[in-house]
């Protein structure tokens, strides 16, 4: 593990702890309004200041961590499950099945993902559930292609062929022998994917189509803060930093994992 990866991992762990223990960490109720104390700059009582309704920005950010990370992780897990399944089926069976799946991928690729997400959210409405499902359902194509390529290679390796000659069932070969050896790139992808999904949610919030207030996400805190950017910089700076730190550290972790897992596999070989 290199230093950058360790730094990324440390921040990711911090973020996850904040998300899990949000109610304990937040000094105040993230919903509590106090109009007499609106738009107060950072102070002892409110380390990151207050917003236009007098709510504690730090508490809202901590709560938003939970929402943003949940959206990011769940969306990626959905896309990973779909992508891994379709990728392994396409790669292992090949032929017509592969053709059908890969044409499906091509169709998805011709439509810009963000556009597709926007359309679906406009139709279905921007609930957390819908956002997770929609981001998840629209971003499996990369992982499907990565897994398919891995499977095409691994299924020709002697241990996979030995499994076939030993008479193991296809399912056993796919999930017991091929998938575990194709998992390194999946893990890397998942890590990058979380930051992608967090960014996607922030982008949606910017268009008013992300997680809806009063439920705070980093994206919608930043978006509502931008109206006060001249007078209350803290409303923009802290959520912006949070998004940046999360995206940056997940990407560092992903890059680190990529370097860490690849040479290891080569070393074993």
Partner 1 sequence: MNNIILRAEKINKHFMAEGIFGAARYKVNALVDASVEVKKGEILALVGESGSGKTTLARIISGLEKQDSGAVLLDRKIPDYKNPDERRKVQYVFQDTYYSLNPRMKIKAVLAEPLKVHFGLKKEKLNEKINKMLQSVGLGADAMEKYPHELSGGQRQRVGIARALSVNPELLIADEPVSSLDVSVQAQILKLLSDLNETTKISIIFITHDLRVVKSLADTVAVMNRGEIVEYGVVEEVYANPRSEYTKTLLGAVKG
Query: Quick one: which H or E segment has residue 260?
Result: helix 234-268
Give min distance, CB of 162 to partner 1, in A: 6
- Could you give the CA distance from residue 49 to residue 35 in angstroms, rounded to a whole number? 13
Contact indicator for 17, 46 with CB cutoff of 8 Å: no
Burial pattern 144-164, b for ≥16 Cβ within 10 A else e, equals: bbbbbebbbebbeeeebeebe
* Complex with partner 1: residue 108 or 153, whichever CB lies closer: 153
Contact indicator for 49, 28 with CB cutoff of 8 Å: no
* Complex with partner 1: residue 94 or 104, whichever CB lies closer: 94
Q: Is 191 exposed, middle or buried (0-12, 13-18, 19+ CB in 10 A)?
A: buried
* Complex with partner 1: residue 153 or 233, whichever CB lies closer: 153
Contact indicator for 34, 54 with CB cutoff of 8 Å: yes
* Complex with partner 1: residue 101 or 160, whichever CB lies closer: 160
* Complex with partner 1: residue 169 or 226, whichever CB lies closer: 169
* Complex with partner 1: residue 35 or 162, whichever CB lies closer: 162
First CA to last CA across the chain, in angstroms?
Answer: 20
- Could you give the CA distance from residue 67 to residue 215 in angstroms, rounded to a whole number? 8
**Residue 247 Cα to chain centre, angstroms:** 9
Give min distance, CB of 163 to partner 1, in A: 8
Give min distance, CB of 269 to partner 1, in A: 6
Give min distance, CB of 166 to partner 1, in A: 5
Q: State the residues that interact with partner 1 by CB under 8 A.
A: 157-159, 161-168, 172, 176-177, 180-181, 265, 267-269
Give min distance, CB of 154 to partner 1, in A: 9
Give min distance, CB of 179 to partner 1, in A: 10
- Could you give the CA distance from residue 54 to residue 39 in angstroms, rounded to a whole number? 6
> Using N-to-C axis directions, what is the helix angle for 183-206 and 234-268, rounded to 10°?
170
* Complex with partner 1: residue 112 or 158, whichever CB lies closer: 158
Give min distance, CB of 167 to partner 1, in A: 4
- Could you give the CA distance from residue 67 to residue 69 in angstroms, rounded to a whole number? 6
* Complex with partner 1: residue 161 or 227, whichever CB lies closer: 161
Helix (H, G, I), strand (E, B) or coil at 134: helix
Give min distance, CB of 210 to partner 1, in A: 40
């Amino acid at each position: 593990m290199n230093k950058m990866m360790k730094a990324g991992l440390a921040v990711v762990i911090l973020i996850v702890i904040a998300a899990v223990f949000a109610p304990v960490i937040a000094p105040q109720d993230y919903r509590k309004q106090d109009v007499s104390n609106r738009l107060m700059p950072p102070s002892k009582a409110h380390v990151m200041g207050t917003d236009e309704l007098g709510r504690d920005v730090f508490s809202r950010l901590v709560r938003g961590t939970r929402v943003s990370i949940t959206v990011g992780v769940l969306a990626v897990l959905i896309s990973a499950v779909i992508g891994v399944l379709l990728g392994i089926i396409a790669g292992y069976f090949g032929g017509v099945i592969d053709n059908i799946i890969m044409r499906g991928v091509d169709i998805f690729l011709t439509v810009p993902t963000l556009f597709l997400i926007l359309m679906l959210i406009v139709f279905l409405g921007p609930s957390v559930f819908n956002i997770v499902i929609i981001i998840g359902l629209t971003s499996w194509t990369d992982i499907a292609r990565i897994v398919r390529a891995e499977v095409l290679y691994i299924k020709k390796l002697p241990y996979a062929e030995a499994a076939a000659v030993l008479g193991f069932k296809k399912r056993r070969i796919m999930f017991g022998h091929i998938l575990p050896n194709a998992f390194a790139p999946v893990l890397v992808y998942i890590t990058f994917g979380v930051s992608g999904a967090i960014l996607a949610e922030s982008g949606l919030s910017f268009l008013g189509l992300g997680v809806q207030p009063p439920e705070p996400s980093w994206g919608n805190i930043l978006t509502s803060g931008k109206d006060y950017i001249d007078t209350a910089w803290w409303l923009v700076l802290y959520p912006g930093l949070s998004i940046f730190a999360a995206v940056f550290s997940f990407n560092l972790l992903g890059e680190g994992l990529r370097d860490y897992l690849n040479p290891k596999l080569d070393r074993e070989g």
